Structure 1
């Protein structure tokens, strides 16, 4: 029989503290808003284990995140802090909180679009422009999930945008340009 584990008030506070650490690549977001801090478990009176899932397995920021979490928790009385990387369940852009999506948009980064289906994200190479979605299109002929629609410009809201580069300042973002206001912007890719 599996019993649900209860979280102590101290574990909840330590989770809040670990989650308050800014993401080193996107400092406008905390690790909680990004959805990468999974759990905190006490291992004695002054020892704690934090589980974190990176946005992708090769994420170069994982070491910086771990060190920042260790620093914050040590500043709050934890003598021993262990940050474990867990890869299952895998991180998804669905893990970004609504607050995180709002902050991305306000910072000038288009947040990931809502996923319309669970499971793997199909990779399709094709047109670079994402003009207003065709309301008739619900799924492509191969049966893939419906097109999530255009990537709206975070500056003016126009759906008329084009892809400039599949990669931007980090591997999790692409570089786009708005055809209405002509401003370039990053788009946090859906995963």
Structure 2
């Protein structure tokens, strides 16, 4: 393949991969979530690199299958999805479009991820966060559960409009 054909193939493969949605939060693409890290060609094989939101993410197999299916639909016969765990995924990788989509669907997007150097300190108490209600915008919110429908979300209640909502945790 020539360099132009390779570049075109990578562009087409990237566009197709960027359409794949997250199985747990389908309002987000894997690209907007920051999980899709790279798209490349190795010979005739499209190589997709993903970093899951955490190493034990139960949706990883579905993400892989969805990516392979989408690329094969678009005519790419050989697709390899590789998992890269380092650097670890950060909620800072969620795009602004992704954050807006979360808010539009009643989910509070994460704030800035905590800066850490060295080992992560294990805390047994709930994490204090500044969380705004995605419905009314109030900052008067209360944590109801550190774990929501997925491990990457916590459950909150707005003390103004009284609506419950999920919050994507800062990681």
User: Which TM-score applies when normalising by structure 1?
Assistant: 0.80
User: Displacement, 1:89?
Assistant: 1.3
> Which residue of the partner structure matches residue 145 of structure 2?
165
1:92-103 map, 5 Å: 92-103=90-101
- 8 Å Cα contact 2:126-2:146 kept in structure 1: no
Distance 2:54 2:72 in 1: 27
- Equivalent position SS for 2:23: coil
| TM-score of the superposed pair, with normalisation by structure 2 | 0.88
Pair 86,116 (structure 1): closer, same or farther in 2 beyond 3 Å: closer
Which stretch of the first structure deviates more once superposed, 14-23 or 91-100?
14-23
Matched residues, number:
165
Structure 2 contact 109–168 (Cα < 8 Å) conserved: yes
For residue 42 of structure 1, what is the aligned residue in structure 2?
Answer: 41
Q: How does 1:148-163 map to 2 (within 5 A)?
A: 150-163=130-143
1:16: which partner in 2? 15
Distance 1:174 1:32 in 2: 22
Please identify, of 30-39 and 117-126, the stretch whose mean Cα deviation from structure 2 is larger. 117-126
Find runs of 4+ consecutive structure 1 residues off by over 3 angstroms.
115-128
* Equivalent position of 1:78 in the other structure: 76
Question: CA offset at residue 184 of structure 1?
Answer: 0.3
Aligned with 2:113: secondary structure?
A: coil
Structure 2 unaligned residues grouped into runs of 5+: 1-5
Q: What is the CA distance between 1:91 and its match in structure 2?
A: 0.7
The 2-side partners of 1:66 and 1:182 are apart by 38
Q: How far apart, in 1, do the equivalents of 2:125 and 2:43 lie?
A: 54
Larger Rg: 1
> Aligned Cα RMSD in Å?
2.0
